[in-house]
Structure 1
Amino acid sequence: MLRLALKTLRFRKGGFLASLVALFVGAVVVQACGGLLETGIRSDVRAERLAAAPVVVTGSQSYPGQAVGDATDPMTERVLLDERLVDVVAKVPGVAAAVPDVSVPITALAGLPVSASGHGWSSAPLSPYTLVAGAEPAASGDVVVDGATARKLGVRPGAKLKALVRGVPHAFRVSGIAESRTATGAALLFSDGEAARLYDRPGKIDAIGVLAAPGTDPAALAKAISAAVAGHGAQVLRGDDRGVAEFPDAISGKQNLIPLAGAFGGLATLVAIFVVGSTVGMLVQQRRREMALMRATGVTPGQLRRLVMTETFVIALLAAGLSLVPGLAFGHVLYDVLVDQNLIPDEMLFRQGFIPRLAGFGVTLVAALTAAFIASYRVSKVRPTEAMADATLQTRWVSPIRMGLAFLFLAGATALAIVTAVVMTGPIAASTAGPAAMLWAVGIALVSPGLCRWLAAALRRPVGLLTGLSGQLAMMNASVRRVRLASAVIPIMLATGLATALIYLQTTQDDASDRMFNDGLKADAVVGSQSGALPPSLVDTFSRLPQVAGASASVSSEARLETVLGSGGTATGRVRPSRIDLQGVTASGARQTIGHPAVQGDYGRLTGDSIVLPTNVLRDRGTHVGDRVRLRWGNGEASTMTVVASFTPPRGFGYAMVPATALLPRTTSGLLPQILVKAKPGVSPADLTTAVRNATAGIPGVVVADRARARAQAHGDQTGRVASFLLAAVVVGYAVIALINSLLVATAERRGEFALQRLIGTTRGQVMWMMSVEALVTALVGILLGTAVAAGALVPFGLALDGSVLPGGPVWIYPTIAGTALALTFATILFPTSLALRASPVEATVAP
């Protein structure tokens, strides 16, 4: 059977190539997405500055306590260690030295924005750093600079170096230059006392680097240290895991990458299964006449199915082998795009091992063999005396299995649409609206022959009247050969529907975010910095300006409101956390700069351990202004907060407000990114901007933006948009490849039909006009069904987001998508038609 399958493939090069392309691209996309998912799961980060320490102890990012619900989500800010753990670790057998390490954010050096960190000199052996010039820092104000940074800035021992530490200007004397073979980032090494002062976290440290005694096994040492620090909120790392302690952004990168890669890979896998299945199924259906002839000459149903399955297996095996290298390369391309857009840190190592490659092979192989079996099953079961007549015209498409699957997919899409519109609120509704689009697409594709019959019937009279005899013939073809029409329509529907849904999901969310920004901001100016950090003291400086009515810090983070679970009034120690975004503000300027007024209470009381909650959160918790709530900050610390006010944020965009002075020390970097400033009545924007700039004249890199520029910057900072458009580009790009592939093959297969028409007197121009009408009808039907797919996702999403049934975003997006689909359809139908018409009619009727 294998020999026969290889011989048949030699004489069906077009079908062979079409199957190979669909299987190859599907395997590449699935492997690339699998590589991203493996990268997120592993979260390997190679140690650089801590490379000399075989074991590193850092704070555990796991949710503390006996939490339920979403308590498995890790903390979003760095969890610090108690510095007393250094002595505990040092006493573990096999530990030569336990070295505490702190990291101080340096945002600018010599007036240039940089991403650097400061550390105590005692942590230099963890790299190790070796002095190559000068001396170690002996006093406050001394600093050792890494060699690469020293060469870039042109500094030598004895030189003065200005730096911004968390946005605050400092001046240091360069006491020495140090080199490291492993550390690549810019680093300043202070005296230990200076590092602790700049770190400003009394009693806390970032990590402990463990230097092992000679002959000590790192795995056994890590196990012993884990036992010693158990119950202290610490985690022990070795190998590539050590980099997490050095690059805490890898934690948020993991949180970004795993759901993104999961959604990306899931949708790409569904599209791959669908495209591969439909392509292979279409190619098998095109061979119905050949299979009918084989049945009439005595071939058994089992032999026919084995032949088709063997052919498909050979093509799938070849495609899988060819996809291994491109799958790895494409995974790297997707990874690089995400790194460039700061969705994941570049220190996270890309991993694509055996499992993603096996998944890509398995998905394409199973989809291809399943489609081949289903497509060949009906022909193989037809009696030989009926096979030839049955092969002349494809009209039957309904089967119990097909209708059962259609019911399941359409019911699932309906359920997701209802959940999106009724249960979900805000941007999170996209998590159900996106999968709904795919379910709608699959469900509609399964019943597409019936839908195509109705739509073709509806278009038959108007199109026939406008296009003449050739157009009437085209409409007769479309009405009678509805199964073939459906095969051509499905890729158009898939590309149009997914492109419209995925793009408008993001643009609609962007529009809603813009409206929230406008409604939530009363400030006339937003002050930021090219370095990403401002001195917190600037808030008071701005507040004292005669042109300013109020100024407020603005810093974001994430936390959990905890509900303690107990029985009979006795707490059990278990909590139910509820995720909530935090906005750090300044009490004295919150009322003037925040657009959402207080419903109860007063923003001016937002000092100390206090919090302002949305009215719906208070209602759901049964809490009132004046009550106390338990808050788990992003760094794992817990506080009891007094509710001093409530407000009503836009639906789906809820957040809580806390004092910025309380939030800043509980963020990983401790950086203040921006300050909101409100002008006094009668002060023009130009006068306000001038006053603010004069007040910050001694601080490099300060940027003052008015409301319009601030909105544009906020819109541009939404890096999630890149992920959404990348997803749309890859998935829709694959669907477009399937569209071109399917229509080229479907049209080229009709050479005999074109030749027969020409033999009875039809001209080449009439055939081209007939196919132009068919291309128009095919495109229109596909675009209509694709629009229905997109509407099934966008309408519920709009209702959940802001109650609108129309998507937000540029109007030209939909006409562009539809126009592109129309152009591709015409090109992929008319081009092979023109090639087929080049041969003489007699030659075409006998050509294989």
Structure 2
Amino acid sequence: MLRLALKTLRFRKGGFLASLIALFVGAVVVQGCGSLLETGIRADVKAERLAGAPVVVTGSQDYPGTAVGTATDGMTERVLLDEDLVDAVAAVPGVAEAVPDVSMPVTALAGRPAEASGHSWSSASLSPYELVAGAEPAASGDVVVDSATARKTGVRPGARLKASVRGVPHVFRVSGIAESRRSARAVLLFSDEEAFRLYDRPGKIDDIGVLVAPGTDPVRLADAVGDAVAGRGARVLHGDDRGVAEFPATIAGRQNLIPVAGAFGGLATMVAIFVVGSTVGMLVQQRRREMALLRTTGVTPGQLRRMVMAETAVAAVLAAGLSLVPGLAFGHFLYDVLVDQDLVPGEMVFRQGFVPRLAGFGATLFAALAAAFIASRRVSKVRPTEAMAEASLQTRWVSPVRLILAFLFLGGATALAIVTGTVMTGPVAASTSAPAAMLWAVGIALVAPALCRWLAALLRWPVGWFTGLSGQLAMLNASVRRVRLAAAVIPIMLATGLATALIYLQTSQDDAASRMFAEGLKADAIVSTRGAALPPSLVDTLARLPQVAGASASVSGDARLETLLDSGGGDGGSKTGPRVRPARIDLQGVTAAGARQTIARTAVQGDYGKLTGDSIVLPTDVLRDSGRKVGDRVRLRWGNGDVSSMTVVGSFTPPRGFGYAMVPAAELLPRTTSGTLSQILVKAKPGVSARELTAALRERADGVPGAVVANRSEAKAAHAQGDETGRVASFLLAAVVVGYAVIALVNSLIVATAERRGEFALQRLIGSTRRQVLWMMSVEALVTAVIGIVLGTGVAAGSLLPFGLALDGTLLPSGPGWIYVTIVAAAVALTFVTILLPTILALRAKPVEAAVAP
């Protein structure tokens, strides 16, 4: 059968090329998305400044104390270590030295925004840094600067250097200049006493760099160190994992990349399986006459199936081999775009190992072989005497398996729609809406012949009335050959439905977020920075201005409200704390003195002015569901793992689906990884114009590097611009999925039209002109596009309507209408081009020759 299959491929170059393209592109897309998922899961980050330490101890990002069956995401901010762990690590046999390391962001150098970090001089041995000029920092106020920064700022030993640490300005004396062969990043090295003072986290450190004694195996030492710090919230790293401790931004990057890659990778895989399956199935169905002839010559059903399976396997293996290099390049392209959009830190190493390649090959091969088997099964089981008659016109499409699959997919889509509309709230509803679109598409595709028959019947009379005899013939073709029409309609439905659903899901989220920001903005101006940070003391400075009624810091973060289950221990619990059930909640850090003036949403109970110390203002629904009230205490685990008992001092009603809690900015700021303040909200006094306010704010913030003052309209525009990061990434990944569907559309329609060369020739032999055939095909193209767009719109509606209800209670999606018009126009244009171009090429041959051509 393999030999026969290889021989038949020589005479079916068009069909073989069509299946090869579908398989190749599907494998490339699945490999690219799979590589993003592997990159996020592995989260490899090469160490630079800590490269000289074979073993590094850092805080564990795992969520502590969760009960059995209540898995949750890890901590979102950097978890710090207890300082006394240094002695425990140093006591492990084989450890030459345990070096504590602290890091603080240096946000400005020489009066300009900068991306640098400050560390203690004792940690210089971890890179290592070596002095090339001057001396090590010996006193408070001394600093050693890396050579690149020294050249950039023009400083030498003995010079004064202005630097802002977490936005707070300082002036240091440059005592020396150092170089490292492993790190090229801007670094300032302070005396140990100065570094811990600037670090300002008493009793805490970031990492412990472990220097290994001669003859000690680092891997075994890492295991021993792990035993020594077990149960202390620490994680021991070696090899490529060490970079995670050095670049904590990869923690958030990993948490961003895994769900994005998983969601779109899963969607891309489903699309690939669907497209490959439908393409291969269509090509097999086009060979009904060939298979019928083989059956009449004595070929058994099993031999027919093996032949088709062998042909498909040859194409799949070839496509998989060709996709290896492009799949790697495509994955790297997606990764680079996500890095450019700041969704993934550039320090994370891109990975594409064996698993994504196997997934791409396996998904496409499985879809192709399954489609080939199903499509060839019916023809191969027909009796030889009936095969030729059935090959002339395919009308039967219903089978028990098809109906069962249609019921499952449509039922699953309906279930997701109900869950989205009734259970989900806010942007999280997109997690069920996007998969629902694919389920609707597959379910509708399975019953497409029946839908096409009904829609063609509705269009038959109006189209025939306006298009004449050729149009009536086109409608007869559409009505009678509904299976062939469905094969042409399905890719249009898929491309139109997915494009509309995925794009409007994003635009609706953007619009809702912008409305929420605008409704919650009571401030008349916002002070922010470009690439730097604001000193926390600037809040009080601005609040004292005669033009200002109130000023509040604005800090974002997240945390978990924990419900205690027992006092600790037991299966599934933390060894050092109680078992809890966490509930994630976003946090907004504010300043109590200016909160009432700058927050638009009034308190339902309590007072924002009491947000000091360990206090919190919770959404009314959270208080109601937890059975708490104002004055009660709740257990809050901050993003960095710290636990506080917070007093509820108020409640408010946030926008639907955008719930968050308010806490003092002074409490939230030191529990974020960077610890930097990036935004201050300011409210003008009555009678003060916006121009007067912004002028006063600019004058007072003039000395802050990178400071920007924006009025309300400018702040709204800046917020919308800030959302562009997620928007670009979502549109890119949506373009990957939709682009593949468009390729399938072009591929399928060209093959389906080219198959009809004999039909066109017979029409011309009985008197039809080329113009009449082209007009007939134009009408068929229009009908095909209209039916595909109608079904695609139905797919999008099944996803978008429940999402709108979950997001903000509206049915129609938000976003410009020209997007849908463009999608429809593109679908119509592609349909006409891919149907009429093969028709024109087919009509170039003489009718007699075309009628007898294979």
| TM-score interval, normalised by the smaller of the two chains | over 0.9
Superimposed CA distance per residue, residues 564-603 of structure 1 (whole angstroms, 9 cap, x where no aligned partner): 1149xx9992111100000000001111111110000000
Q: CA deviation at 1:846?
A: 2.0
The alignment status of 1:665 with 2:670, answered yes or no, reads: yes
Q: CA deviation at 1:72?
A: 3.5
Aligned to 1:785: 791
Q: Is the 8 A contact 1:584 1:657 kept in 2?
A: yes
Amino acid at match of 2:36: L
Q: How many Å separate the matches in 1 of 2:678 and 2:583?
A: 26
Aligned to 2:374: 374
Amino acid at match of 1:734: Y
Q: CA deviation at 1:475?
A: 0.5
Q: Which runs of 5+ in 2 are unaligned?
A: none
Aligned to 1:797: 803
Q: Is the 8 A contact 1:67 1:577 kept in 2?
A: no
Amino acid at match of 1:847: A
Q: How many Å separate the matches in 2 of 1:129 and 1:550?
A: 47
Following superposition of structure 1 onto structure 2, how do residues 221-370 of structure 1 map, counting pairs within 5 Å? Answer: 221-370=221-370
Following superposition of structure 1 onto structure 2, how do residues 678-693 of structure 1 map, counting pairs within 5 Å? Answer: 678-693=683-698
Aligned to 1:184: 184
Q: CA deviation at 1:198?
A: 1.0
Aligned to 1:54: 54
3-state DSSP of counterpart to 2:565: strand
Amino acid at match of 2:768: T
Aligned to 1:219: 219
Amino acid at match of 1:729: A
Following superposition of structure 1 onto structure 2, how do residues 226-625 of structure 1 map, counting pairs within 5 Å? Answer: 226-566=226-566, 573-625=578-630
Q: How many Å separate the matches in 2 of 1:334 and 1:181?
A: 31
Amino acid at match of 1:563: T
Q: CA deviation at 1:710?
A: 1.3
Q: Is the 8 A contact 1:460 1:472 kept in 2?
A: yes
The alignment status of 1:629 with 2:634, answered yes or no, reads: yes
Following superposition of structure 1 onto structure 2, how do residues 110-149 of structure 1 map, counting pairs within 5 Å? Answer: 110-149=110-149
Q: Is the 8 A contact 2:551 2:598 kept in 1?
A: yes
Aligned to 1:728: 734
Q: Is the 8 A contact 2:495 2:738 kept in 1?
A: yes
The more displaced of 292-301 and 550-559 is 292-301
Q: CA deviation at 1:697?
A: 2.0
Q: CA deviation at 1:149?
A: 2.1
Instruction: Report the number of matched residues.
Output: 847
3-state DSSP of counterpart to 1:812: helix
Q: How many Å separate the matches in 2 of 1:811 and 1:66?
A: 46
Superimposed CA distance per residue, residues 764-785 of structure 1 (whole angstroms, 9 cap, x where no aligned partner): 1111111111000000000000
Q: How many Å separate the matches in 2 of 1:447 and 1:724?
A: 30
Q: CA deviation at 1:65?
A: 2.1
Amino acid at match of 1:713: A
Amino acid at match of 2:663: V
Amino acid at match of 2:617: V
3-state DSSP of counterpart to 2:554: strand
Q: Is the 8 A contact 1:69 1:577 kept in 2?
A: no
Q: CA deviation at 1:28?
A: 0.6
Aligned to 1:677: 682
Q: How many Å separate the matches in 2 of 1:649 and 1:585?
A: 15
Aligned to 1:172: 172
The alignment status of 1:641 with 2:646, answered yes or no, reads: yes
Following superposition of structure 1 onto structure 2, how do residues 742-821 of structure 1 map, counting pairs within 5 Å? Answer: 742-821=748-827
Q: How many Å separate the matches in 2 of 1:759 and 1:150?
A: 85
Amino acid at match of 2:793: T
Aligned to 2:832: 826
Q: How many Å separate the matches in 2 of 1:186 and 1:648?
A: 45
3-state DSSP of counterpart to 1:573: coil
Q: How many Å separate the matches in 1 of 2:590 and 2:364?
A: 52
3-state DSSP of counterpart to 2:346: coil
Following superposition of structure 1 onto structure 2, how do residues 197-208 of structure 1 map, counting pairs within 5 Å? Answer: 197-208=197-208
Q: How many Å separate the matches in 1 of 2:118 and 2:141?
A: 13
Q: CA deviation at 1:144?
A: 1.3
3-state DSSP of counterpart to 1:578: strand
Q: CA deviation at 1:13?
A: 0.6
Q: How many Å separate the matches in 2 of 1:701 and 1:37?
A: 36
Q: CA deviation at 1:193?
A: 1.3
Following superposition of structure 1 onto structure 2, how do residues 150-165 of structure 1 map, counting pairs within 5 Å? Answer: 150-165=150-165
Q: Which runs of 5+ in 1 are unaligned?
A: none
Q: How many Å separate the matches in 2 of 1:753 and 1:155?
A: 83
Q: Is the 8 A contact 2:113 2:705 kept in 1?
A: no
Q: Is the 8 A contact 1:254 1:344 kept in 2?
A: yes
Amino acid at match of 1:182: R
Q: Is the 8 A contact 2:108 2:532 kept in 1?
A: no
3-state DSSP of counterpart to 1:653: coil
3-state DSSP of counterpart to 2:171: strand
Q: Is the 8 A contact 1:62 1:74 kept in 2?
A: yes
Q: CA deviation at 1:70?
A: 4.8
Superimposed CA distance per residue, residues 201-256 of structure 1 (whole angstroms, 9 cap, x where no aligned partner): 11111000000000100011111111111121111111111111101111111111
Q: How many Å separate the matches in 2 of 1:231 and 1:728?
A: 43
Q: Is the 8 A contact 1:69 1:576 kept in 2?
A: no
Q: How many Å separate the matches in 1 of 2:442 and 2:152?
A: 57
Q: CA deviation at 1:822?
A: 0.6
The more displaced of 119-128 and 193-202 is 193-202
3-state DSSP of counterpart to 2:728: helix
Amino acid at match of 1:209: G
Q: How many Å separate the matches in 1 of 2:184 and 2:445?
A: 53
Superimposed CA distance per residue, residues 40-63 of structure 1 (whole angstroms, 9 cap, x where no aligned partner): 111111111000100001111111
Q: CA deviation at 1:115?
A: 1.5
Deviation beyond 6 Å, 4+ runs, structure 1 = none
Following superposition of structure 1 onto structure 2, how do residues 828-843 of structure 1 map, counting pairs within 5 Å? Answer: 828-843=834-849
Q: How many Å separate the matches in 1 of 2:557 and 2:693?
A: 29
Q: Is the 8 A contact 2:532 2:705 kept in 1?
A: no
Q: How many Å separate the matches in 2 of 1:215 and 1:558?
A: 45
3-state DSSP of counterpart to 1:404: helix
Q: How many Å separate the matches in 2 of 1:536 and 1:293?
A: 84
Q: CA deviation at 1:66?
A: 4.0
Q: CA deviation at 1:69?
A: 5.7
Amino acid at match of 1:328: L
3-state DSSP of counterpart to 1:623: coil
Q: CA deviation at 1:715?
A: 2.0
The more displaced of 541-550 and 152-161 is 152-161
Q: CA deviation at 1:654?
A: 0.4
Following superposition of structure 1 onto structure 2, how do residues 13-32 of structure 1 map, counting pairs within 5 Å? Answer: 13-32=13-32
Q: CA deviation at 1:457?
A: 0.5
Q: CA RMSD in A?
A: 1.4
Aligned to 1:846: 852
Amino acid at match of 1:339: V
Aligned to 2:75: 75
The more displaced of 350-359 and 442-451 is 350-359
Q: How many Å separate the matches in 2 of 1:811 and 1:682?
A: 41
Amino acid at match of 2:387: A
The TM-score with structure 2 as length reference comes to: 0.98
Q: CA deviation at 1:158?
A: 2.5
Superimposed CA distance per residue, residues 64-115 of structure 1 (whole angstroms, 9 cap, x where no aligned partner): 2244565441111111111111111111111111000000101121233221
3-state DSSP of counterpart to 1:728: helix
Q: CA deviation at 1:722?
A: 2.6
Amino acid at match of 1:234: A
